[in-house]
Structure 1
Amino acid sequence: MSQEMSDGDLAAHLAEVAGRILINVRESGLFSAKALGKAGDQTANQFLVHALREVRPEDGLLSEEEKDNPDRLAKSRVWIVDPVDGTREYGEERSDWAVHVGMAVDGEAVLGAVALPGLDLTGTGTGTVLRSDQPRPLPPAPEKLRMVVSRTRPAKEAVAVAERLDAELVPMGSAGAKAMAVILGQADIYLHSGGQYEWDSMAPVAVAQAHGLHCSRIDGSPLVYNQKDVYLPDLLICRKEHAQNVLGLIAEVRIDA
């Protein structure tokens, strides 16, 4: 049956099940706080990579927790997953962590699902999954801009741009949670320049683009995936009406620095 699922249904199903697995690992009470992140990461990763190799054996695969396979570079379709985005937040039982399951086709983020297992917006107790193939209308924009930033290491460019915009800073955990916050109306801009990898942004970018948001590098260039070097250090996700202004301010800030 899983072979007959659409790619979108498969991505969402995998992200949701991995999220439930992670909750179960945490609630088992068997791991210290120090060991929990690794246990959760590895357990969820084993589920995701085994499932994808079973149901999409011809596709490439890149996971944060799996040894890189250079064969993916010759593939057009490549699944890119992050079993736990926001390991610290997961261990602290916060809601701002995520599971990323996405697909890049010829380097472009075309499909993704981001599970937020700690954020139960549906009231079902199973968390929330946002999908690129099922976009929802964006909430109305507020009068005062809000920018999500790292709760532990806010990027200096983001802080400087927020000051110029008189935007409220909203500290938050994982990249996926920050990107989804813009979709959910909890923020308007997500600006990051502190270093990331392809698995940190690929699925969130696919979902954000499908919801009509601007997604790019902070110099305005496209985000390209399934590269030999998977380091992809910066990211801008925002409502389209803010994109050109934010990109211009980033350029100013970098010149001033």
Structure 2
Amino acid sequence: MPETDLDLLIKAAQASGEIAKTFFQNAPKTWDKDDNAGPVTEADLAVNTYLEDVLRTARPDYGWLSEESLDEPERQSSEYVFIIDPIDGTRSYIEGSRTWAHSLAIARDGRITAAAVLLPMRDMMFSAALDQGALLNGETLRVSSQKGFERSEILATRPVLEPHHWSTGTAPQFSRHHRPSLAYRLALIAQGRFDAMLTLRPSWEWDIAAGALIVSEAGGTISDKTGTALKFNNVDPRLNGVVAAGPNLHSEIIGKLAAA
């Protein structure tokens, strides 16, 4: 039987974890990207090289979008495209934290169809295929059923609390938490460990793509900050913020955000 796209992503993520571990806490070489785009390490580049070789060899007709590769306009004409973040949470990786992840996804005509998010140092493999549910290490995931901000545990950065983001001029009261990897934040929503995730600034597709499918396949709702459904493989691969939660809480959050 031919290897499915999800099987391909899972195997590639697992191999990526082994590569990243060889550099982890071993003083990897580190550089700062241009335009204050953040750090990159030799581990990011090694994983990216491996993934581009293995994935594009397996699916030569698929387009390619990765944080650590030059963008190729040709991906716009591809029915399928890989959307990859070799290491999501590079700053945490450099600091020796265990909350970095490999985020691998495939989009078809703008919609994610297969996804894998692996946290190698936590032995957590989140995965999903379109219309087949979401899993963590083989166990089915389901989002929280929480309603109402007051009792909600929400993953968000501090700037989300700024008054101009909210229709009333004041952020609602909720318990704010943070994890450095956006892919991991979304996976935690799918797991039901937190009730919602908000990021209201432009967000790169490679940070969001895999987690988006995992959330939706776990019964959650995910959109940009206006409530518009996410579309991937855009010419400019940035999304207009991201809101992910169970359906009821998602609607409440969108209703209280200021008009974009």
| TM-score when normalising by structure 2 | 0.84
Secondary structure of the residue aligned to 2:121 is coil
Moved over 4 A (4+): 32-37, 139-143, 157-161
Which residue number in structure 1 is paired with residue 110 of structure 2?
107
Which residue number in structure 1 is paired with residue 137 of structure 2?
none
The one of 181, 188, 194 aligned to 1:187: 194
1:237 maps to 2:235: no
Richer in strand (by share): 2
Structure 1 residue runs of 5 or longer lacking an equivalent are 120-126
User: Counterparts of 1:178-257 in structure 2 under 5 Å?
Assistant: 178-251=185-258, 254=259
Shift of 1:71: 1.1
The one of 123, 126, 130 aligned to 2:126: 130
Residues 145 and 65 from structure 1, CA distance in 2 versus in 1: closer, same or farther, beyond 3 angstroms? same
Which sits farther off after the overlay, 99-108 or 185-194? 185-194
User: Counterparts of 1:1-150 in structure 2 under 5 Å?
Assistant: 4-27=2-25, 29-31=26-28, 37-119=40-122, 127-133=123-129, 134-135=133-134, 136-138=140-142, 141=145, 144-150=151-157
Shift of 1:154: 3.7
Q: 2:8, 2:116 → 1: CA distance?
A: 9
What are the Cα deviations for residues 21-62 of structure 1, in whole angstroms up to 9, with x where unaligned? 1111114x2536769941111011001111111111111111
Q: 2:187, 2:163 → 1: CA distance?
A: 18
What are the Cα deviations for residues 148-177 of structure 1, in whole angstroms up to 9, with x where unaligned? 023xx543469976x754320012111011
Residues 158 and 64 from structure 1, CA distance in 2 versus in 1: closer, same or farther, beyond 3 angstroms? farther
Structure 2 residue runs of 5 or longer lacking an equivalent are 33-38, 135-139
Aligned length: 240
Shift of 1:195: 2.4
Residues 183 and 51 from structure 1, CA distance in 2 versus in 1: closer, same or farther, beyond 3 angstroms? same
What are the Cα deviations for residues 167-203 of structure 1, in whole angstroms up to 9, with x where unaligned? 2001211101111111223211101012211111111
Q: 1:10, 1:157 → 2: CA distance?
A: 41
Q: 2:128, 2:164 → 1: CA distance?
A: 29
Q: 1:8, 1:243 → 2: CA distance?
A: 27
Residues 49 and 81 from structure 1, CA distance in 2 versus in 1: closer, same or farther, beyond 3 angstroms? same
Richer in helix (by share): 1
User: Counterparts of 1:136-175 in structure 2 under 5 Å?
Assistant: 136-138=140-142, 141=145, 144-150=151-157, 154-156=159-161, 165-175=172-182
Contact 2:144–2:194 (Cα < 8 Å) also in 1: no
Contact 1:147–1:189 (Cα < 8 Å) also in 2: yes
Contact 1:60–1:78 (Cα < 8 Å) also in 2: yes
